[in-house]
Structure 1
């Protein structure tokens, strides 16, 4: 059996565009400041995509969904994740699990943790575990300039 692990990182700055909605872990977060990006800027979904694509050798977030590809402009994190899963399965890979760590001062993640894990697990077709942490007000995430996420994926063939 071929077993591989991939790690993905994604970072987006907070947006000043009041018309955008925050998308995080495949959920909408009404009333929270949105993130700036080519797609919906869902750092958790993007990090998961990157980890899956890298683990399987299919590519990475930038080559598969790059800003030079207008068809992905405004795409949801769930859509990017679904396409990543499709590409992996097309190459004969199965997803064992994905683990995601969100890094930021806000929004408060714990109240929506179970919903986020259930939603992302349904999209991936495998267990997705998510946790969140702060940087104790250090760095760009600590200054509330944006949010980062780190994901690890285990895939088998």
Structure 2
């Protein structure tokens, strides 16, 4: 069996915008700021997308869903995640597990982590036990610590399930 590992990282700025909601891991998190971006700016899901695509050598989220394309304006990142999982499966791979970390001074994410794991898992049709979501502060350091943005990192393990056709 062939295994491969992918890593993804994403950052978005926190801004005041009453027309949007803060979405992390597909979950609406009550907060007085939101993430700025072309899509819903879900840094957690974006990092998972990049890790999935990277593990199979299939580029990155910007290559498949460019922010210059109006089709992706305000799109749910869970839709992009589903598409990334489909791209991965078409290439002959399956996801074994996902481990993520969100870096944010605020809001506190502990009450939402299980729901985030479940949303990500159900979107790509894997077991919730295969998706781990962690959150940490930066102890007031850096842009996260100053409340200027949120970052996320993801690592994905995939396995080859069949020969790539083509």
TM over 0.5: yes
1:138 aligns with 2:138: no
Alignment of 1:65-104 (within 5 A): 65-104=65-104
Counterparts of 2:152 and 2:31, CA distance in 1: 21
1:60 to partner: Cα distance: 0.5
**Structure 1 residue matching 2:158: 3-state secondary structure:** strand
Tell me how many residue pairs correspond in the alignment: 157
What are the ranges of 5 or more consecutive residues in structure 2 without an aligned counterpart?
A: 161-166
1:31 to partner: Cα distance: 4.0
Partner of 2:132: 129
CA RMSD across the alignment: 1.1
1:112 to partner: Cα distance: 1.3
- Structure 1: which 4+ aligned runs deviate by more than 4 Å? none
1:28 to partner: Cα distance: 1.1
1:106 to partner: Cα distance: 1.3
What are the ranges of 5 or more consecutive residues in structure 1 without an aligned counterpart?
A: none
1:153 aligns with 2:163: no
CA offsets per residue over residues 72-93 of structure 1, 9 Å max, x none? Answer: 1111111111010011111111
**Does the 8 Å CA contact 1:95/1:125 hold for their aligned counterparts?**
no
Q: Between Structure 1 and Structure 2, whose CA radius of gyration is higher?
A: 2
**Structure 1 residue matching 2:75: 3-state secondary structure:** coil
Normalised by the length of structure 1, the TM-score is 0.96
Partner of 2:110: 110
Counterparts of 1:32 and 1:57, CA distance in 2: 38
**Does the 8 Å CA contact 1:53/1:61 hold for their aligned counterparts?**
yes
